[in-house]
A and B are shown apart, each in its own frame.
Chain A
Amino acid sequence: DARVTQTPRHKVTEMGQEVTMRCQPILGHNTVFWYRQTMMQGLELLAYFRNRAPLDDSGMPKDRFSAEMPDATLATLKIQPSEPRDSAVYFCASGFDISEQFFGPGTRLTVL
């Protein structure tokens, strides 16, 4: 049963620390998405990649966030330095094109 995996599932850190979240897309999928969900803002698209190339990251605060796909089996989302307002659930999804998406279980980030 193929599924998207995300690690860690939970992360508590202090303000100013670097946070790295990882996503393993479903084998063979060529598109990877990063989303953030908060109570106040709901779901937001942060960035997405197709064939490992970033297609859009306009939703991402560039000064502290970075997203990469070092290879087809790994996508990373990094926050440096982290701030309390970054506390959210971060979802990764993979699929073919923007039409079909399979979501990972999410990483719940708390920045104190």
Chain B
Amino acid sequence: KNEVEQSPQNLTAQEGEFITINCSYSVGISALHWLQQHPGGGIVSLFMLSSGKKKHGRLIATINIQEKHSSLHITASHPRDSAVYICAVDWNNDMRFGAGTRLTVKP
């Protein structure tokens, strides 16, 4: 069983919709990351969280340490948000990755 589970695996939305991607993990972590991988393959680090909530533009990330769960929200989604979103956790001097959520936003 993977230590990090993401849902959904694939998500298609219309431009303007509110998007939520979920990440659950089964181990004690020191931090959680959200990464964005563009269709061309490049990876961007969006957030690093150890508690609470962070916001950057239209992106919001939350984490509940007790429930071992994090969410990534995108408000007013746009076709340029189409990418694979990957959750990763810092655990025991190592990192574990989710399988990713492929988001497609249609105009």
Chain A interface (Cβ < 8 Å from any Cβ of B): 42-45, 55-56, 58-59, 89, 91, 93, 98-103, 105-106
Contact = CB atoms under 8 A, between A and B. Distances in A.
Interface string B81-107: 000001010100111011110000000
Interface stretch (B15-23, B42-50, B63-71): B42-50
Nearest to B49: A99
Interface in B24-59: 31, 33, 41-45, 48
Interface of B: 31, 33, 41-45, 48, 86, 88, 90, 93-95, 97-100
Contacts of B95: 45, 98
Contacts of A103: 42-45
Contacts of B97: 42-44
A100 B43 contact: no
A50 to B, nearest CB: 11
B43 to A, nearest CB: 4
Most A Cβ at <10 Å: residue of B43, B45, B48: B43
A43 B41 contact: no
A45 B94 contact: yes
B101 to A, nearest CB: 12
Given A55-B93, A59-B94, A98-B90, A42 B99 contact: yes
A100 B45 CA distance: 8
Contacts of A44: 97
Contacts of A58: 94
A100 to B, nearest CB: 7
Given A42-B99, A43-B86, 13 more contacts: A42-B97, A42-B98, A42-B100, A43-B88, A45-B95, A56-B94, A89-B41, A91-B43, A98-B31, A99-B48, A103-B42, A105-B41, A106-B43
A43 B89 CA distance: 12
A91 B97 CA distance: 14
Contacts of B45: 93, 100-103
6 contacts: A43-B97, A93-B45, A98-B90, A100-B45, A103-B44, A106-B42
